[in-house]
C-alpha cells in the first residue's frame, strides 16, 4: 500500500481521466513533478465507456506501475452500486455524491456508504449542498457554512469534504475569485481535508492561496481537456494527411503530462503558507 500524504503546506492534485492516455499522462506528469497524485474516474466517464471495469482496470494498472504514489479514485458517484463496484475492483478512494438529495436523506445515504467503505479500508469523500447540473453548489454565488460542514462530517464519518467557496464546474476561463477567508474558517471548523472542485476556473495564484488557506485536494478536469484538445487540433492542423491516432493522440498525452507537472508545481508552491487542514491519504491498490 502506498499513501499520498502531501508534506505540510502542500496540496494534493486530483485529475480526471477520460481515456487511458489521460491516466498515462497524469502519472507521467506526477513522476516529473516528483509528487503523489490522484487519478479520478467520474460517473460520467464510466457512462462514456459503458462500464467501470475497462477504464477502471486501466487506471489501476497505471497506478500500480507509477514511480510515485497514485490513488485511484471514483469521482461524483451518485449510485451506491457503482461505489460497491469500484471497491470490488480495487479502488482505494471514492466520492459518494448524495448532494442532490434532501439534507437528511443525504446524511443517511452518505453515512451508510461510508460505513461500508470503511469496512473495506476505502477512503470516502462527500459533498454538502445541492447540485444542479454543472452550475450547482459550486456556482460563484454558493457558499458552504462552516458549522453545517462540521456537523455533516460528524454525522456521516466521511474522510474529506468538497465545499463551495466560489468555484463552478466546467469553466473554460480561469477567472474565478475564491473566498479565501471562508476557506480558512472551513479548515478550522472541519476536521477532515477540504476538497476544491471546479479548480479549472481558478488562476494559478489563487490555487496556491487556496492551499495556503487550508484547501487540500485540488480537482482538475476541464483544464486538462482544453490542453489535450488544443494539442490534438494543432497536430492534425500541421499534417492534414495524418490518420494514425497514435501520432496525434500522443500529442495530447504529452501536453497533458506537461500541464499536470506544471499544476502540481503551482499547488506545491503554497509550502511556505499556513495550512490548517490535515493531509489526504489513500491507496493505489488493495
| Neighbouring residues of 59: CB distance < 8 A, sequence distance ≥ 6 | 17, 20, 23, 39, 41, 72
Spatial contact of 183 and 214, defined as CB atoms under 8 Å apart: yes
Task: Give CA–CA dist 143/91, Å, rounded.
Answer: 30
User: What grid cell was written down for 51?
Assistant: 462500464
* Distance, CA of 101 to chain centre: 22
Catalytic-residue membership of 75:
yes
27-30: long-range contacts, CB 8 A cutoff, minimum separation 24: 27/62, 27/63, 27/65, 27/66, 27/68, 27/70, 28/253, 28/257, 28/260, 29/256, 29/257, 29/258, 29/259, 29/260, 29/261, 29/264, 30/66, 30/68, 30/70, 30/260, 30/261, 30/264
SS3 content of the chain, % helix, strand, coil (to 5): 50, 15, 35
Element (H, E) at 77: strand 70-77
In a 10 Å sphere around its CB, with 0-12 CB exposed, 13-18 middle and 19+ buried, how is residue 99 labelled?
buried
Phi and psi at residue 195, in whole multiples of 5°?
-120, 130
Spatial contact of 267 and 15, defined as CB atoms under 8 Å apart: no
Catalytic position from the list 75, 97, 179, 254:
75
Q: Catalytic residue positions?
A: 75
Amino acid at each position: 500500500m502506498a499513501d499520498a500524504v502531501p508534506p505540510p503546506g502542500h496540496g494534493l492534485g486530483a485529475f480526471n481521466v477520460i481515456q487511458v492516455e489521460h491516466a498515462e499522462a497524469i502519472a507521467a506528469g506526477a513522476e516529473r513533478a516528483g509528487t503523489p497524485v490522484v487519478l479520478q474516474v467520474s460517473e460520467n466517464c464510466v457512462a462514456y465507456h459503458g462500464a467501470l471495469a475497462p477504464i477502471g482496470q486501466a487506471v489501476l494498472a497505471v497506478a500500480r506501475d507509477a514511480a510515485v504514489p497514485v490513488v485511484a479514485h471514483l469521482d461524483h458517484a451518485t449510485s451506491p452500486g457503482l461505489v460497491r463496484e469500484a471497491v470490488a475492483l480495487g479502488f482505494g478512494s471514492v466520492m459518494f455524491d448524495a448532494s442532490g438529495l434532501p439534507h437528511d436523506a443525504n446524511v443517511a445515504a452518505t453515512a451508510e456508504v461510508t460505513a461500508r467503505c470503511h469496512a473495506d479500508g476505502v477512503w470516502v469523500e462527500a459533498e454538502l449542498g445541492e447540485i444542479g447540473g454543472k452550475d450547482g453548489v459550486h456556482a460563484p454565488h454558493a457558499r458552504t457554512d462552516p458549522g453545517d460542514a462540521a456537523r455533516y462530517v460528524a454525522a456521516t464519518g466521511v474522510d474529506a469534504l468538497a465545499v463551495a467557496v466560489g468555484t463552478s464546474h466546467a469553466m473554460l476561463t480561469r477567472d474565478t475569485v475564491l473566498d479565501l477567508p471562508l476557506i480558512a474558517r472551513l479548515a478550522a471548523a472541519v476536521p477532515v481535508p477540504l476538497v476544491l472542485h471546479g479548480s479549472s476556473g481558478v488562476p494559478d495564484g489563487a490555487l496556491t492561496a487556496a492551499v495556503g488557506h487550508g484547501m487540500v485536494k485540488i480537482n482538475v478536469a476541464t483544464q486538462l481537456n482544453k490542453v489535450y484538445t488544443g494539442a490534438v487540433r494543432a497536430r492534425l492542423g500541421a499534417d492534414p494527411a495524418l490518420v494514425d491516432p497514435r501520432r496525434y493522440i500522443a500529442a495530447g498525452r504529452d501536453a497533458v503530462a506537461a500541464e499536470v507537472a506544471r499544476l502540481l508545481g503551482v499547488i506545491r508552491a503554497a509550502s511556505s503558507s499556513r495550512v490548517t487542514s490535515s493531509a489526504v491519504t489513500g491507496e493505489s491498490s488493495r
